[in-house]
Amino acid sequence: MNADAPATARPAVELEGITKRFPGVVANHDIRITVDPGTVHAIVGENGAGKSTLMKILYGMQKPDEGTIKINGTEVSFRTPSDAIAAGIGMVHQHFMLADNFTVLENVVLGAEPKKAGALDTARARARIEELSSNHGLHVDPDRLVEDLGVGDRQRVEILKVLYRGARILILDEPTAVLVPQEVDELFENLRELKAGGLTVIFISHKLDEVLSIADAITVIRRGTTVASVDPREVTARQLAELMVGSELPTPETRESTVTDTVALSVSGLTMEADGFRPLPKGTPVAEYTAGLRAEGRRLLLDDVSFDIHRGEILGIAGVEGNGQSELIEAIMGMRPAHGTVELAGADISSWSTLKRREAGIGYIPEDRHRQGLLLEASLWENRVLGHQTRKPSRRGVWIDRRAAKADTRRIIDEYDVRTPGVDTLALALSGGNQQKLIVGREMSGEPVFLIAAHPTRGVDVGAQAAIWDHLRAARAAGLAVLLISADLDELIGLSDTLHVIYRGRLVARLDPSDVTPERLGGYMTGAISGSTAEPAEEEA
């Protein structure tokens, strides 16, 4: 399955023996890739396989320690991204780099403005942008503000940006990660047009179905090196996945239902305003107040959110990021004031502090472990204490019980297979997967009754992902109630007992994970399927 250039034309990009070392880690090792001009070439690999490093090298953000890069047959050496841009390479980052308060036109020309007498030559910029968008089927109104655009449109602006700078080779870093299925289809239509226009697209992804539907050639990266180059017509998703993972695939499926009748967490009428918390007028019920706000046309971050989670149940929340998931977590954790009530095991905890809620048995795996979950410059045992500083075994009176905390950290390291030299190692020295396993172990400590798991396997390797899924399943079987928030639809469908969709702060649909397709889920998530009348709930076992 070697797809070396068919020798019809010089390859657009040729990477030979690229190796890049970081202290103690070989990020890339003897990478060999040949990309033919006018094709969509996919590079697939798991999180942490080395795709991002490779793309940074190709885009001039990092220098390889060994190996050569040839663009259109000429050997090049990029020192900065400007060199790469000059050679006709453009990069569309996974996270958009757009100025929200600028128009599309201003964003596209930013940094490469055509000038007339020192001022921005709007007419020339507009003409060029319109030419590019009609040639490549990238339709966006140049005068709209970027903040008003949807995710798909923003991505088109990013592509226009690199085309505007004369790119003939486009690198798209996980472009579908932020898109719902319908938007993915539109993106692929755009990519086919670009290809027809003679451009070369390097498409980085780990979503195999998408890769198989769009790519003309596929290179698989595993643990920092290229393990195979395959023809998408000759390979199945299953085979590709096995090349990528190198072993048997983990699946997030939960087996039999363990849902009980006991409600562990009950949320009702949770409402949060966008422009700050105002106390409820005396004597007004929350529902009435919320209706009033809605009638006034106020933007609500959370709009009358209600659900129950039973012991032994995993309740999944699907939604495009930024539709109220973070606010929901903050409201349940007591980190941000909201209207409505939160009950934990029958007790109204709405007015409790975060600390008291944690002490009452709420565990929290945060969505961004570096921002909310860890003290990177502190040791592992101190990270074990974090969030448990007022509880056994970390505390003894006013003191931190160092010995007990260290011992319990060792227990977590063993039980959760955290790979670390010891408990005194600083958290930043661990890989993402091991950091996450430590957090999962910490949050499962002290017998929680309810766990918030926000993107629990984001940015971790396959092994850690499978382990974390196992731990969640085991805890569920032991009677833990879990609120699972994730952008990974497979994870959501596979782990959840009940699935809700959140859209603009409202729970718009309640679905049965056993017979929902990612497409239908995507429809609810974008509001394409109007969800005010959710389908009837499935019977709970």
Partner 1 sequence: MPAGLYRALLTVAGAAVAIVLAVAISSVAISVAGASPEAAFAALFNFGESERAVVNGITSMINRSVPLFIAGLAVAVGFRMNLFNIGVEGQYRIAALCAAFVGAQFSLPAPIQILLIIVVAAAVGGLYALIPAVMKVTRGVNEVISTIMLNYIAIQLAAFLVRGPFTGERAKGQLTTSTPTLPESAWFPNLNGLFEMFGLPAPRGGGLWGFLAVAVLLGVAVWVLLERTKFGFEVKASGLNPMAALAAGVKPKKMVIAAMVLSGAIAGLIGLPEILGDKHNFGSNFTPGLGFLGIAVALLGRNRPAGIAVAALLFGFLDRAQGPLQFANVPPSVIAIMQGAIVLLVVVANEITSRMALRREERRAARQLGRHTPVEVAA
Q: How far is the CB of 322 from partner 1 (least distance, A)?
A: 18
Q: How far is the CB of 205 from partner 1 (least distance, A)?
A: 19
* 239 near partner 1, judged by CB under 8 A: no
Q: Indicate the residue among 175 and 373 with the shorter CB distance to partner 1.
A: 373
Cα end-to-end span (Å), the chain? 48
* 398 near partner 1, judged by CB under 8 A: yes
Figure out which of the listed residues 355, 474, 477, 478 binds partner 1, where binding follows CB under 8 A. Answer: 355
Contacts by 173-176 with C-beta closer than 8 Å and gap 24+? 173/51, 173/52, 173/55, 173/91, 173/92, 173/93, 173/94, 173/204, 174/94, 174/204, 174/205, 174/206, 175/92, 175/94, 175/203, 175/205, 176/205, 176/207, 176/210
Q: Indicate the residue among 70 and 391 with the shorter CB distance to partner 1.
A: 391
Bridge-based pairing state of the strands 263-273 and 339-344: antiparallel
* 70 near partner 1, judged by CB under 8 A: no
Figure out which of the listed residues 246, 285, 292, 322 binds partner 1, where binding follows CB under 8 A. Answer: 246
- The DSSP 8-state label assigned to residue 529 in this structure reads S
Q: Indicate the residue among 205 and 225 with the shorter CB distance to partner 1.
A: 225
* 425 near partner 1, judged by CB under 8 A: yes
* 382 near partner 1, judged by CB under 8 A: yes
Figure out which of the listed residues 113, 359, 535, 538 binds partner 1, where binding follows CB under 8 A. Answer: 359
* 333 near partner 1, judged by CB under 8 A: yes
Contact 45, 224 (CB under 8 A): no
* 505 near partner 1, judged by CB under 8 A: no
* 421 near partner 1, judged by CB under 8 A: yes
Which residues lie across from 217 on neighbouring strands? Answer: 41
Residue linked to tokens 């060994």 = 66
Contacts of 282 (CB under 8 A, 6+ apart): none
Binding part of the chain for partner 1, among 7-15, 199-207, 266-274, 381-389 by CB under 8 A, reads: 381-389
Phi, then psi, of 8 in degrees rounded to 5: -80, -40
* 494 near partner 1, judged by CB under 8 A: no
Q: Which two tokens stand for residue 457?
A: 């396997």
Site for partner 1 in 474-493 (CB under 8 A): none
3-state per-residue secondary structure call for 394-440: CEECCEECHHHHHHHHHHHHHHCCCCCCCCCCEHHHCCHHHHHHHHH
Q: Which two tokens stand for residue 331?
A: 């409201």
d(CA 77, CA 60): 8
Per-residue burial over 82-108, b = 16 or more CB atoms within 10 Å of its CB, e = otherwise:
eebbebbbbbbeeebebeeeebbbbbb
* 25 near partner 1, judged by CB under 8 A: yes
Q: Indicate the residue among 222 and 471 with the shorter CB distance to partner 1.
A: 222
* 529 near partner 1, judged by CB under 8 A: no
Q: Indicate the residue among 9 and 428 with the shorter CB distance to partner 1.
A: 428
* 29 near partner 1, judged by CB under 8 A: yes
Q: How far is the CB of 398 from partner 1 (least distance, A)?
A: 5
Quickly count: other Cβ atoms within 10 Å of residue 373's Cβ: 24
Could you tell me how many residues of this chain bind partner 1 (CB under 8 A)?
57
* 232 near partner 1, judged by CB under 8 A: no
Question: Quick check: helix, strand or coil at residue 221?
Answer: strand
Helix (H) or strand (E) holding 84: helix 81-86
Binding part of the chain for partner 1, among 81-89, 196-204, 285-293, 369-377 by CB under 8 A, reads: 369-377
* 426 near partner 1, judged by CB under 8 A: yes
Binding part of the chain for partner 1, among 77-85, 296-304, 352-360, 471-479 by CB under 8 A, reads: 352-360
* 360 near partner 1, judged by CB under 8 A: no
d(CA 86, CA 169): 11
* 241 near partner 1, judged by CB under 8 A: no
Q: How far is the CB of 403 from partner 1 (least distance, A)?
A: 12
Site for partner 1 in 199-228 (CB under 8 A): 220, 222-228
What are the E-state strand segments in 169-318?
A: 169-173, 200-205, 217-222, 225-230, 263-273, 300-310, 314-318
Q: How far is the CB of 517 from partner 1 (least distance, A)?
A: 33
User: Among 154, 56, 48, 57, which Cα is nearest to 100's?
Assistant: 154
d(CA 108, CA 104): 6
Q: How far is the CB of 239 from partner 1 (least distance, A)?
A: 11
User: Among 367, 399, 380, 402, which Cα is nearest to 484's?
Assistant: 367
The amino acid present at 33, given as its one-letter code, is: I
* 395 near partner 1, judged by CB under 8 A: yes
Bridge-based pairing state of the strands 362-365 and 347-348: unpaired
Figure out which of the listed residues 251, 389, 514, 530 binds partner 1, where binding follows CB under 8 A. Answer: 389
* 177 near partner 1, judged by CB under 8 A: no
Figure out which of the listed residues 212, 263, 376, 449 binds partner 1, where binding follows CB under 8 A. Answer: 376
Please give the residue ranges that form the binding site for partner 1 (CB under 8 A): 1, 23-26, 29-30, 220, 222-228, 243, 246, 333, 335, 353-359, 364, 366, 371-378, 382, 385-387, 389-390, 395, 398-400, 402, 419-421, 424-426, 428-431
